[in-house]
Chains A and B, each alone.
Chain A
Amino acid sequence: MTLLEQRRAPRTEAGRRRSPLGSRWTPYLFLGPAAIFILLFQGVPLAQEVYLSFTRTSLLNPTNSTWVGLENYVDIFGDEDFRRTLRTTFVYVVACVAGSVGAGLLVALLLNRSFRGRGVVRALVTIPWAAPGIAVALIATWMLNPQYGIVNRFLDAVGLGVPGGAILDSSTYALPAILVTTVWQLFPLTSVVLLSALQAVPRDLLEAATMDGAGRWWTFRAVTWQVIKPTVGLLALLMTIWSIRRFELIWLMTKGGPVGSTETLVIDLYAQAFDSKQLGTAAAIGMVGVVISLIVIAGSRLVTRAAEKEGLR
């Protein structure tokens, strides 16, 4: 986002002139090592995956590919299981974005006052984001353990217990449980970023609005929201892209089960590659994920541009 933003910004610093010192090859000398590195470890593999998605290739004999054109794509879109995977991915991503940005905003508003011990609170609230995903999956699985998990004990105590307690084995409750875990891990980041965005809200405007007798909700919409809207948009985009590619938390908690109820695109792709050994199908599923991310990014650019034009008029 950073650099794309900059292109639209008036060309001051970076774009003003060619480097007065060094030849015109100088920038490439700085850029070169990293560029080669990224090309080798991201570009080439991606190109191979694009190719694989048009072939039938087995993990057991990966050098032997048969070109099948669009067959993998036709097959997956004709498959009811894959359409369920797409729906699950959609639900997961939308809920993650809404949950993490929503919770982050609530927490940011809560902490956007000075009070004694705020520094400590802010630091402690960062913990979920700092905790490794593996450890989060482990403790979540233990807390959700049917017999001894604290979550079930608590739910039983308040009379909301899931029959048998096996939340992660239930096709109804597994996805919500994973969602709560994901949002728990993400809300520190969104709240910290939104908290810093809230510092830009002009205090005198807020005071003026309050003086004029405006209600809290009105003040929030008219003043605060207008200032933090771009940050909310960027966070939503970031959370969307991250949620589409999130793997380990879901894989370690449910492996996509039970009966595919938590199977997102990335889980499906990994299972196709390593359980079913169908590299072509796996690559095609991956490409669908990449294209969806691209569409989301392009869409968000269009929305931003439209909003800016609106603002100019």
Chain B
Amino acid sequence: MSRLRIGVTLRVVGVLVVMGIAVFPLYWMFVTALSSNADLFAADARLLPDFSELGVFADALADGEALTWLRNSLVIALGTTVLSIGLGIPLGYALSRFSFRGKMLTAVVLLLTQMLPEALMVVPLFALFNRFDLLDSLTGLVLANSAFVLPIVALILKGAIDGIPRELEEAGRVDGARPLTMLLRINVPLIGPSIAAAAVIAFFHAWNEYVFAVTFIYAPETQPASVGIANFIGEVGTPVQTVMAVAFMFTLPAVAFYLFAQKYVVAGMTAGAVKG
């Protein structure tokens, strides 16, 4: 009996430790944002947030710079989501429902894109965007980000369409519906959760993206939050509390959205990208 007790206790302690490790850095970001200067540099660290410092969030947004960053990130992320889902649904459908020459090749190419580092593609994409006047523009970043996230989106959606019985389409066939109609009327409504998962992945891929943004954007007014926040690292002019407040506001939507959509994201990832 006592052995069982010890086992249960160990498990509870283990769960608490894992939870603490998972949550602490983000908690610490919050605590740092809400610290007075005295606490921040005191000999003994203050482990709890000081809610009388809540004004830091308003201060961080006051000069409008951080708001511009967040708005740019939002535009890039929304654009990437729409474009990659728009291209990914038909691609996933083609891979799931048709057999055609070059299907194998398409599949292999999609997988190979998963091993191309962004840092390698930065130089040629820079040259390409330079020629088409897409540097320093949010459109350029939407295009680059979509190209990188599209294969994952397409694989998730292909997996989802694989799971829909073909019989559902048979009825449509008898009625003489065209493939596009069947895709939009029959498949798309049924794979809603997977589309949501793919959208979350595409959105936050673009929201978090850094390499392309830091290389392709010069003007402060087109800069997304990832670059703005990264510039804080190693810089000493801005108060730590302000930096952490901006970073927290940048992180919170990503975390909140994942928690909200977790079930679908995990199902989509495991179905599409991992298990197949």
Chain A interface (Cβ < 8 Å from any Cβ of B): 1-7, 13-22, 24, 26-31, 33-35, 37-38, 40-46, 48-49, 52, 59, 62, 107, 110-111, 113, 115, 121-143, 147-148, 150, 153, 184, 188-189, 192-193, 196, 231, 234-235, 238, 241, 244-245, 247-248, 252, 266, 269-270, 273-274, 279, 282-283, 286, 289-290, 293-294, 297
Cα–Cα distance between A153 and B41 once the two chains are bound (Å): 12
Most chain A beta-carbon neighbours within 10 Å: one of B25, B215, B255: B25
The answer to whether A130 and B240 have CB atoms under 8 Å apart is no
Closest A-chain residue to B166, C-beta based? A13
The answer to whether A135 and B229 have CB atoms under 8 Å apart is yes
Stretch at the interface among B60-68, B90-98, B188-196: B90-98
Residue of B14, B114, B121 near A110 (CB, 8 A) is B14
Residue of B25, B117, B273 near A286 (CB, 8 A) is B117
**With contact pairs A34-B90, A124-B22 given, residues A196 and B233 touching in the complex (Cβ less than 8 Å):** no
Chain A residues whose C-beta falls within 8 Å of the C-beta of B276 in the assembled complex: 1-3, 5-6
Chain B residues whose C-beta falls within 8 Å of the C-beta of A293 in the assembled complex: 115
The answer to whether B19 and A184 have CB atoms under 8 Å apart is no
Chain B residues whose C-beta falls within 8 Å of the C-beta of A7 in the assembled complex: 104, 107
The answer to whether B258 and A129 have CB atoms under 8 Å apart is yes
Cα–Cα distance between A127 and B21 once the two chains are bound (Å): 10
The answer to whether A297 and B115 have CB atoms under 8 Å apart is yes
Chain A residues whose C-beta falls within 8 Å of the C-beta of B124 in the assembled complex: 44-46, 48-49, 52
B185 interfacial by beta-carbon distance below 8 Å: no
Cα–Cα distance between A113 and B151 once the two chains are bound (Å): 35
Residue of B99, B108, B162, B255 near A130 (CB, 8 A) is B255
Most chain B beta-carbon neighbours within 10 Å: one of A1, A111, A132, A248: A132
**With contact pairs A27-B100, A45-B128, A123-B259 given, residues A2 and B159 touching in the complex (Cβ less than 8 Å):** yes
* A177 CB to nearest chain B CB (Å): 13
Cα–Cα distance between A252 and B158 once the two chains are bound (Å): 35
* B218 CB to nearest chain A CB (Å): 14
Chain A residues whose C-beta falls within 8 Å of the C-beta of B211 in the assembled complex: 247-248, 270
Most chain B beta-carbon neighbours within 10 Å: one of A33, A38, A125, A184: A38
The answer to whether A107 and B18 have CB atoms under 8 Å apart is yes
Q: With A247-B117, A286-B117 given, name 6 new contacts (CB 8 A).
A: A2-B107, A2-B159, A24-B100, A131-B251, A235-B274, A269-B120
Cα–Cα distance between A22 and B23 once the two chains are bound (Å): 53
Chain B residues whose C-beta falls within 8 Å of the C-beta of A130 in the assembled complex: 204, 254-255, 257-259
Cα–Cα distance between A141 and B250 once the two chains are bound (Å): 17
Q: How many A-B residue pairs have CB under 8 A?
A: 297
Chain B residues whose C-beta falls within 8 Å of the C-beta of A283 in the assembled complex: 120, 123
The answer to whether A38 and B113 have CB atoms under 8 Å apart is yes
The answer to whether B117 and A266 have CB atoms under 8 Å apart is yes
The answer to whether A42 and B233 have CB atoms under 8 Å apart is no
Cα–Cα distance between A38 and B273 once the two chains are bound (Å): 18
Residue of B15, B95, B144, B243 near A3 (CB, 8 A) is B95
**With contact pairs A19-B98, A184-B21 given, residues A238 and B274 touching in the complex (Cβ less than 8 Å):** yes
**With contact pairs A38-B113, A127-B255, A248-B210 given, residues A142 and B244 touching in the complex (Cβ less than 8 Å):** yes
How many residues belonging to B are interface residues under a CB distance threshold of 8 Å?
103
Residue of B28, B117, B230 near A289 (CB, 8 A) is B117
Chain B interface (Cβ < 8 Å from any Cβ of A): 11, 14-15, 18-19, 21-23, 25-26, 28-29, 32, 40-41, 45, 87-88, 90-91, 93-100, 103-104, 106-125, 127-128, 143-144, 146-148, 150-151, 154-155, 158-159, 162, 166, 173, 178-179, 183, 204, 207-208, 210-211, 215, 225-226, 229-230, 232-234, 240, 243-244, 247-248, 250-251, 254-255, 257-259, 262, 266, 269-270, 272-276
Chain A residues whose C-beta falls within 8 Å of the C-beta of B179 in the assembled complex: 19, 21-22, 26, 30
The answer to whether B262 and A123 have CB atoms under 8 Å apart is yes
Chain B residues whose C-beta falls within 8 Å of the C-beta of A289 in the assembled complex: 117, 120
Chain A residues whose C-beta falls within 8 Å of the C-beta of B273 in the assembled complex: 1-2, 238
Closest B-chain residue to A19, C-beta based? B98
Most chain B beta-carbon neighbours within 10 Å: one of A33, A37, A234, A283: A37
The answer to whether A125 and B18 have CB atoms under 8 Å apart is yes
Residue of A115, A139, A269 near B26 (CB, 8 A) is A139
The answer to whether B106 and A35 have CB atoms under 8 Å apart is yes
Chain A residues whose C-beta falls within 8 Å of the C-beta of B143 in the assembled complex: 41
**With contact pairs A129-B258, A234-B274 given, residues A139 and B104 touching in the complex (Cβ less than 8 Å):** no
Cα–Cα distance between A115 and B115 once the two chains are bound (Å): 39
